[in-house]
Structure 1
Amino acid sequence: MSHPIHQANENNPYGDLTREEFYQKHRIIHQESFMLNKRNMKIFTQSWRLAPGPDDEKGMSLSMRGVVAMVHGYALDSTWLFELTAVAIAKCGFLVCALDLQGHGLSDGFPGHIPNIKHVIEDCIQYFDSMRHENPKLPAFLYGESLGGSIALLISLNQKNEWNGLILNGAMLGVSPKFKPAGAWLLPMAAFLAPTWKVASVKPHASKLYKEEWKRKLSANNPNRRTSRKPTTATALQFLRLCKYIRLRCHELEVPMLIVHGEDDRVCDCSSARFVYESAASRNKTFKSFPGVAHMLIGETQENVDLVFGTIFAWLRDRS
């Protein structure tokens, strides 16, 4: 199946269509709302599913394969480019759900500020559990990109035996040495004294994130984007601790797992992804690395996008 990114242009992920026309063309039912989390923050949530056809009953597609809970990456959100993948998965017959992490998109919070990763995981579990409980007979899968991959991994560790599969797309399982902040040893003190200061890090050129220039422009045009890629001191400290924690506990993973990663990823270390794959106790696990592919896999050429996401779609269909 072709990914909807191929119909986009540098100004609009929906091509020449409005968002509503885009959903109608792809026969997608889209719903969005806000959830109040345990810290009284408003968290934006949304879902996508294929509209029922003439042979379906009670408004639910008879071909519904499962639930896919998606987690976006840092400095991004659950709309724009990310929702194109959500629509593609929904067209495969899945109920797809996602939320904007705190400080991202339409959710409450200081822009890009994640002082405690545990709170983000709690938000995800709260929303994803509500979606799974509404569809108890469907198998459920976690999907995460970049930072969202590490969050999805921690959710699966916190909810062992509750998920039927885990997909990690360019996941932040280890930070590339070229992207670590300068003076990382000072982060604990800096995070304590000035938690919202921006970290001076080696910022990768946009071409190292998105290989195709028009997709870089499209990403920059996201109206819901609220922050640059430079994290706050508290957030950067959480990232480094998160990667260390994953390295220590990834051997406990037992969930069926697919890891896809670009070998030319200058942000999230590909070797760390391989380490997680080799360490995981999962009996059903697959690791696919792609030569010459950068961090944002959706930012690649059409050929590479079809290769990477074709692998993801096939994996989901085979396990639903």
Structure 2
Amino acid sequence: MALDLTSTFRPNIQPEYSISSRNILRQKLVSKPLIIMAQKKPKIDGVSDELNSIASQNLDHAPARRRVRSAFASVQQQLDHILFKMAPDGIRTDEWYEINSNGQEIFCKSWLPKPGVRIKGALCFCHGYGDTCTFFFEGIAKHIAASGYGVYAIDHPGFGLSEGLHGYVPSFDAIADNVNEQYDIMKSRPEIRGLPRFIFGQSMGGAIALKALLKAPNEWDGIVLVAPMCKISEEVAPPVPLQKVLIFLSKLMPQAKLVPAKDLAELAFRESKKKQMAPYNVISYSDQTRLRTAVELLNATKYIESHVEKVASPMLILHGAADKVTDPLISQFLYENASSKDKTLKLYEDGFHCILEGEPDDRILTVLSDIISWLDSRTSLK
């Protein structure tokens, strides 16, 4: 799932705070402990009370998220969704953990074509805010792998099955560095060594992929972006005084969940039947946004906006034209301002944010086909 920028940068804080007001607020926060109540998770329809009890536990830390994922893995694969129902047979999968340079266990997964199918290249995935690579992306990865690609994914620190406080991004730079670090390891695997390698980002993952690409432009042969979060529109960006309040509060209590969250499934999924499957993504982060996380994401989009002309790699951008989570005009901005000579922008009429998960079946298959065709046309040149 992606991040709703409107809710993220419209915190439940009065914007008219002055400097003196903030000083008073700081004194109150220091003198009185802050009690933050976690949101009560809604019951998941269609599963047993026992599974609902498992899903309702506190997911702040990775061991709990791993237990919940294990309990729901088979249930998720049985959902009536085209990504699961039409998943190709024979795909070879592997799961493991790597210890990153910060000492965190990072969950890694790969999907390879069935034996005998030549691998054309590697596609390395960056998931969106709150999400994981172990739910809908399982089906996406299998479809792409069946077309001859090694697909690789990680859960970012603090998300999915990786270590870190759930939903907490203390440093966006560190997330991008972790992406390059983990994929540097994977790119040396024998099945893809020396083959073209592409980075693939969705929503917030698009911003992560762009930042990773800007940090190591020679390490990637191209980038695929789905509904990327790469610039905050003027309509959504908070006023400068409010940004200062957010930054101030994030230094005092960076992990605090104070930024209200909206029901993203309502905005992200066009088909109601598919929207009803969103709660089955049981280890996603759906609570209020943590203060430091909100500030880091805002700063990341500012950085990408100011450096977009440095994006010179082959680039495919795909976006739903009716997306209300990340503005398709931002993808147009990226397309027009990137210096890449090989760039493609595809806008899908009436498409919502989750064009690979929440659209009608034929649209999902079209988007998958567009990604595979773009990859094919660039791997055949190698």
Q: CA deviation at 1:192?
A: 0.3
Aligned residue for 1:233?
291
Deviation for aligned residue 1:229: 5.5
The verdict on how the C-alpha distance between 1:108 and 1:205 changes in structure 2, with shifts beyond 3 A counting, is closer
Which residue in 2 is equivalent to 1:14?
Answer: 77
Secondary structure, in 3 states, of the residue corresponding to 1:278?
helix
Alignment of 1:120-159 (within 5 A): 120-134=175-189, 135-159=192-216
67 and 279 in structure 1: CA distance in 2 versus 1, 3 angstrom threshold: same
Q: 2: distance between equivalents of 1:184 and 1:66?
A: 42
The one-letter amino acid of 2:142's match is V
Encode CA deviations 1:209-244: one digit per residue, 9 max, x unaligned: 11122322222112332x216321101101111111
TM-score by length of 1: 0.87
Shift, 1:204, TM fit: 5.1
Q: Is the 8 A contact 2:93 2:109 kept in 1?
A: yes
Paired positions, count? 299
Equivalent residue, structure 2, for 1:35: 98
Deviation by residue 1:32-74 (Cα, 9 ceiling, x = unmatched): 1111111111111111101213xxxxxxx4x211011001001
Secondary structure of the structure 2 residue equivalent to 1:289 = strand
- Structure 2 counterpart SS, 1:133: coil
> Equivalent residue for 1:316?
375
Q: For the Cα contact (< 8 Å) 2:120–2:148, is it kept in 1?
A: yes
> What SS does structure 2 have at the residue aligned with 1:30?
strand
Cα offset, 1:313, TM superposition: 1.4
1:103 aligned residue: 158
After TM superposition, list the pairs within 5 Å mapping 1:1-320 onto structure 2. 12-15=75-78, 26-53=89-116, 61=117, 63-134=118-189, 135-175=192-232, 183-201=242-260, 203=262, 206-225=265-284, 227-228=285-286, 230-297=288-355, 298-320=357-379
Could you tell me how far apart the structure 1 residues matched to 2:79 and 2:318 are? 31
For the pair shown, which has the larger CA radius of gyration, 1 or 2? 2
2:26 corresponding residue in structure 1: none
Residues 16 and 216 of structure 1: CA distance in aligned 2, closer, same or farther (over 3 Å): closer
Structure 1 unmatched ranges of 5 or more: 1-9, 54-60
- For the 8 Å contact 2:269–2:275, the answer to whether it is kept is yes
User: In the aligned structure 1, how far is the partner of 2:300 from the partner of 2:104?
Assistant: 23
* Structure 1 residues 129 and 104: alpha-carbon distance in aligned structure 2, compared to 1, 3 A threshold: same
Contact conserved, 2:261 with 2:288, CA < 8 A, in 1? Answer: no
Q: List structure 1 runs of 4+ shifted beyond 6 angstroms.
A: 21-24
Deviates more, 1:116-125 or 1:211-220: 211-220
TM-score (norm 2): 0.73
Q: Quote the residue 2:34 is aligned against.
A: none
Report the alpha carbon displacement of residue 151 of structure 1 after superposing the two structures with TM: 0.7
Q: Structure 1 residues 264, 29: CA separation in 2 closer, same or farther (over 3 Å shift)? A: same
Structure 2 Cα separation of the partners of residues 149 and 250 of structure 1: 13
Distance 1:252 1:24, change over 3 A: closer
Q: How far has the Cα of 1:128 moved from its partner?
A: 0.6
State the alpha-carbon separation in 2 of the partners of residues 91 and 14 from structure 1: 18
Q: Which residue identity is paired with 1:36?
A: I
Cα shift at 1:101: 0.6
Contact 2:114 2:146 in 1 (8 A): no
| Comparing 149-158 and 205-214, the one that deviates more | 205-214
Instruction: Report the 3-state secondary structure (helix = DSSP H, G, I; strand = E; otherwise coil) of the residue aligned with 1:76.
Output: coil
**Cα distance per residue 1:130-163 (max 9 Å; x no partner):** 1112233210001010111111111111111221
- Distance between the aligned counterparts of 1:140 and 1:68, measured in 2? 6
RMSD: 2.3
SS in 2 for 1:35: strand
Amino acid corresponding to residue 130 of structure 2 in structure 1: A
Residues 79-120 of structure 1: per-residue CA shift (max 9 Å, x gap): 110121111111110111100111111111111101101111
Answer yes or no: is the 8 Å Cα contact 2:269–2:352 preserved in 1.
yes
